[in-house]
Structure formats: C-alpha cells, structure tokens
C-alpha cells in the first residue's frame, strides 16, 4: 500500500473524532450556585454568634424519584446537610455558629438566626449527566433565606433576605483538551455530580452573602471576605 493511500485512510478514520473536538472545547455544562439579592436593613453590630435553623421543606417543588416515607427521609437528609454545611462555613469565615434544634424562640442576644426554605429541588439524572452531558439531566436547588438579628427578638422582621439558585450539569466540556479519549473521564466525573454538590455550593453562597453584608460595614477585612456570586 502506498504511503499516500495509508495516510488518506487514517485521515478518514479520524474524521468522526475530529468533528466532535470543537464541541468538546465549548464550556457548556457548568455547575454553580448564585445569590439573588432581596431586602436589606442595617443592624447595630457584628454578631458574636450565628444560629442556623433547618430550612423548611413542606412547600416547594420536589422533582425526585421518592415518595411517602422515602421522600420524607430524603428531605430530612437534604435539610440537615445544608444546615451542617452552613454551620461549618459560617464558623470558619464569620463567627462561631451552631445548629438551632429547638422549636422555642431564642432569647434576645447579640446573635443572628439564619432560616429559610427550599423552593425547588430537582434531582435530575446521573445517567444523562454522564452519558450525554452538555447540561442534560442537571440538578437544581433553589432556596429563600431570611436572617434575623436576635437583639431585636426572633419575632422581628428579618434584616436580610436573599435567594439562591443553581445546580449541576455535566463537568465543563471546555476543560477537555485531550480530544475524544479525554472526554471519557469527563463523562465519568459527570455521574458523581449531584445534589450533594449543590448543597455545598448553596451553603457557600449563603455564607458569602452574610460575609458581603459584614464586609460592607467594615466588620470583616478584605482577606476575610467571602465573595458572593450575585445573579445578574
């Protein structure tokens, strides 16, 4: 076989792969959570402590593959995970934080109370995220958050409200630089992205919104500041 003929056959064999490469270089399937500003009013001082109460799960849209007791347990785990992550992040970046497990109102004190509710939880499809990507089968978590200054009492109006929204699609295709073979790890990675990651990002943005509030008032330094991803 002549060298030119061999080169031609190799070229034809690689054409299907080469056609896919441009698509793999486009950053389509990103995963992120952002903050939508709500209301804001001033408070007297930086809190000495932050309490976090489990977010309400009664209302909202829950597009998941569970019903009855399994759904109730699923909601319980989701809300507890979010509370846990906010407590950890707030303690690390803001002030000492703890979970408020009591139903009784908290006494007046120099502290803040974070409450909220899940407005939407979409489980998506791990199979579609892994097999197709490009945003297919993506998850989604949306919350509404209210923060109270316990100096004024828990029955006062929240001084800060905002919402979070975001989710996980496939891993970013733009990160693939190895052609069709490099796409395989990306697909496998997409299968592991889901609601757990969304919860972690939601906790991060919730903490960041409080950090931005404190930073605007000079209560945290630039180095201590956690920048929020505000929705445009």
Residue 150 is part of a domain; what is its CATH number? Answer: 3.40.50
Domain total in the chain: 1
> At 150, is the pLDDT very low, low, confident or very high (cuts 50, 70, 90)?
very high
> At 141, is the pLDDT very low, low, confident or very high (cuts 50, 70, 90)?
very high
148 within a domain of the structure (yes/no): yes
46 within a domain of the structure (yes/no): yes
CA distance 148 to 105: 12
Orientation of helix 3-24 relative to helix 179-192, angle to 10°: 30
Query: What is the b/e burial string over 38-70, where b = at least 16 CB atoms within 10 angstroms of the residue's CB?
Result: eeeeebeeebebbbbbbbbbeebebebeeeeee
Other beta carbons less than 10 A from residue 211's beta carbon:
21
- Per-residue pLDDT for 178 more than 70? no
172 within a domain of the structure (yes/no): yes
Least confident of 40-44, 58-62, 83-87: 58-62
- Per-residue pLDDT for 87 more than 50? yes
Least confident of 81-90, 185-194, 197-206, 221-230: 185-194
Instruction: Give the residue numbers spanning the domain of 154.
Output: 3-216
Which residues does residue 146 pair with via DSSP β-bridges, in sequence order? Answer: 115, 161
Which residues does residue 144 pair with via DSSP β-bridges, in sequence order? Answer: 117, 163
Q: Which one, of 218, 212, 168, lies nearest residue 37 by Cα?
A: 212
55 within a domain of the structure (yes/no): yes
Lookup: tokens for 100: 């408020």
149 within a domain of the structure (yes/no): yes
110 within a domain of the structure (yes/no): yes
> At 101, is the pLDDT very low, low, confident or very high (cuts 50, 70, 90)?
confident
Which residues does residue 37 pair with via DSSP β-bridges, in sequence order? Answer: 162
- Confidence (pLDDT) at 3: 56
138 within a domain of the structure (yes/no): yes
> At 54, is the pLDDT very low, low, confident or very high (cuts 50, 70, 90)?
very high
200 within a domain of the structure (yes/no): yes
- Kindly write down the DSSP assignment for every residue of 19-51, as one continuous string: HHHHHHTS-----EEEEEEEEE---SS--SEEE
- Confidence (pLDDT) at 23: 43
> At 190, is the pLDDT very low, low, confident or very high (cuts 50, 70, 90)?
very low
Cβ-based neighbours of 83, under 8 Å, separated by 6 or more: 52, 53, 54, 55, 99
Higher pLDDT, 62 or 31: 62
């Amino acid at each position: 076989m002549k060298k030119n003929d061999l080169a031609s056959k190799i070229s034809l064999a690689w054409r299907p792969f080469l056609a896919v490469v441009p698509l793999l270089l486009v950053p389509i399937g990103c995963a992120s959570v952002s903050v939508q500003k709500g209301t804001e009013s001033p408070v007297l001082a930086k809190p000495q402590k932050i309490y976090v109460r489990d977010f309400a799960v009664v209302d909202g849209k829950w597009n998941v593959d569970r019903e009855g007791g399994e759904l109730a347990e699923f909601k319980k785990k989701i809300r507890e995970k979010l509370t846990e992550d906010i407590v950890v992040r707030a303690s690390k970046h803001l002030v000492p934080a703890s979970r408020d497990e009591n139903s009784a109102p908290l006494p007046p004190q120099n502290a803040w109370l974070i409450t909220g509710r899940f407005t939407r939880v979409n489980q998506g499809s791990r199979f579609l995220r892994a097999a197709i990507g490009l945003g297919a089968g993506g998850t989604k978590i949306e919350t509404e958050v209210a923060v109270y200054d316990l100096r004024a009492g828990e029955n006062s109006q929240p001084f800060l409200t905002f919402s979070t929204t975001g989710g996980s699609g496939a891993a970013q295709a733009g990160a693939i630089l190895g052609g069709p073979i490099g796409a395989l790890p990306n697909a496998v990675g997409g299968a592991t992205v889901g609601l757990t990651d969304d919860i972690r990002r939601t906790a991060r943005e919730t903490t960041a919104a409080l950090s931005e509030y404190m930073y605007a008032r000079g209560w945290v330094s630039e180095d201590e500041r956690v920048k929020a991803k505000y929705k445009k």
